[in-house]
Amino acid sequence: MYSETSISRKVYTVSPTSYSMELLDITLREGEQRSGYTYTTEQKIAVAENLSELGIEYIQLGFPVADSQTKEVCADLDITAKTTGIARAIQKDIDAAADAGVDVIDLFAPTSDLQRSHILGVDREELLSRIDASLDYAHETGREVHFSAMDGFRTETGFLNEIISRVNADYVTIADTVGSQTPRMVEETLTDLATDLSQIGVHFHDDLGLATANALAASNYGVGKIDVSVAGVGERAGNTALEEFVIAQSREADFTALGVDEGQLIPALESILDILDEDIAPQKPILGKGVFEHESGLHTAAMLDTPATFEPFDPADFGGQRHLLFGPSTGTGAAKKLLERANLDPTDNRIELLLSELENQNKDLHLKEAVALAKDVR
């Protein structure tokens, strides 16, 4: 792990050691809301098992009233994590979630004036009445109950406070359903909430490329739950990326309360992406194939001595690996260090010969290959 004692740290609104935060993974539900994507029962079971092993507290399996898989998955799962299923604030959805066997029923309803009027066609009082009745009914199942305020971040603050103050739920999640928020807007909303934020969850979409930044802003204010997905997989532009949030959070503070096995983070999520047949771009932060590859002569020369010179964190801390590549772009500095690693005196002649050999290769060489090549230079 790199030592960075000279780097100043942000002052937190809430001390990271004063409360715990839980993660709810939405990969399976959000992933299937994309056009053309479906997962098999076997895929969902394998993913849920991997996420639970990693230390995720909640795993959202799906929308039970709209699919039969959730019940099949629940029947075959034996995991530590709690399973959740979403349900509209109506009785048949709640019945379907309970019948599926999920541990948590996550009710949702549109709360912004825009969505409430156009989706439900009811006034605020009728909406509150429906929410109250559905929550009471959900509690009768004996399960943990959450409530998600759909389009919550665009809901008038006074009304949002009224909803939060009266709902009987273990968590109230405020959703940025259309991905319109910025970190400053998130902070303003949370500042205006007259409630204990440890019982508030947040759900962000990445339409502006700010889902992870927004989640970090919310965590600084002490929210108790963050919705995340593997590689940000989700509807439209996706959601807060699990790996980005966990690693960024660990950079800001000693945030051990997340409960995630950080040392297995990257391989576990790579395994999940493989299970789901998900392709990601080589430049995808943290999980992309090219993220920890370095080829520039200046970069590789420096990193042979001190990897932190061109890395934000040591990938090994999260189960990842760096790859230093050598070829036509390799400079004299890197060639000298390769010869030293080969226990050879880096004379000008040897450096020139090694650079010539590297330029003649048909592919970039990894460090071990480049050192082996250097050993043959005489």
Shared-domain flag, residues 349 and 259: no
Give the tokens for residue 15. Answer: 């001390």
- How far, in Å, CA of 314 to CA of 319, rounded? 9
Nearest 5 degrees, angle CA 195-CA 200-CA 202? 135
Within a domain: residue 188?
A: yes
- How far, in Å, CA of 249 to CA of 20, rounded? 13
Q: Could you tell me which of 3, 53, 22 has the C-alpha nearest to residue 245?
A: 22
Domain count, the chain: 2
Shared-domain flag, residues 368 and 233: no
Within a domain: residue 72?
A: yes
Within a domain: residue 222?
A: yes
Shared-domain flag, residues 267 and 300: no
Q: What is the DSSP string of 272-330?
A: HHHHTT----TTSTTTSTTTTEE--HHHHHHHHH-GGGG-SS-GGGGT---EEEESTT-
- CATH number of 208's domain: 3.20.20.70
pTM: 0.88
Give the domain extent around 194: 22-275
Within a domain: residue 13?
A: no
Within a domain: residue 57?
A: yes
| DSSP structural state of residue 62 | E
Shared-domain flag, residues 264 and 301: no
What pLDDT is recorded for position 19?
A: 54
Centre a 10 Å sphere on the Cβ of residue 113 and count the other Cβ atoms it contains: 15
Within a domain: residue 121?
A: yes
Place of tokens 């030293």: 340
Tens of pLDDT along the chain (378 residues) come to 544 433 333 333 444 444 579 999 999 999 999 989 999 999 999 999 999 999 999 999 999 999 989 999 999 999 999 999 999 999 999 999 999 999 999 999 999 999 999 999 999 999 999 999 999 999 999 999 999 999 999 999 999 999 999 999 999 999 999 999 999 999 999 999 989 999 999 999 999 999 999 999 999 999 999 999 999 999 999 999 999 999 999 887 655 468 899 999 999 999 999 999 999 999 999 999 888 888 766 778 788 888 888 889 999 999 999 888 888 888 888 888 888 888 888 888 898 888 888 888 878 888 888 888 888 887
CA dihedral of residues 295, 301, 303, 304 (deg, nearest 10): 110
Shared-domain flag, residues 270 and 303: no
Shared-domain flag, residues 253 and 359: no
Shared-domain flag, residues 233 and 353: no
- How far, in Å, CA of 137 to CA of 176, rounded? 26
Shared-domain flag, residues 140 and 229: yes
Within a domain: residue 30?
A: yes
Within a domain: residue 287?
A: no
Among 242, 275, 308, identify where a domain stops.
Answer: 275
| DSSP structural state of residue 259 | -
What pLDDT is recorded for position 1?
A: 52
Alpha helices of the chain — where are they, by DSSP H? 27-31, 41-54, 69-76, 91-100, 113-115, 124-139, 157-166, 183-191, 211-220, 242-252, 265-275, 297-305, 332-341, 348-359, 367-375
Shared-domain flag, residues 107 and 248: yes
Shared-domain flag, residues 220 and 299: no
Shared-domain flag, residues 155 and 86: yes
Shared-domain flag, residues 138 and 179: yes
- How far, in Å, CA of 85 to CA of 64, rounded? 6
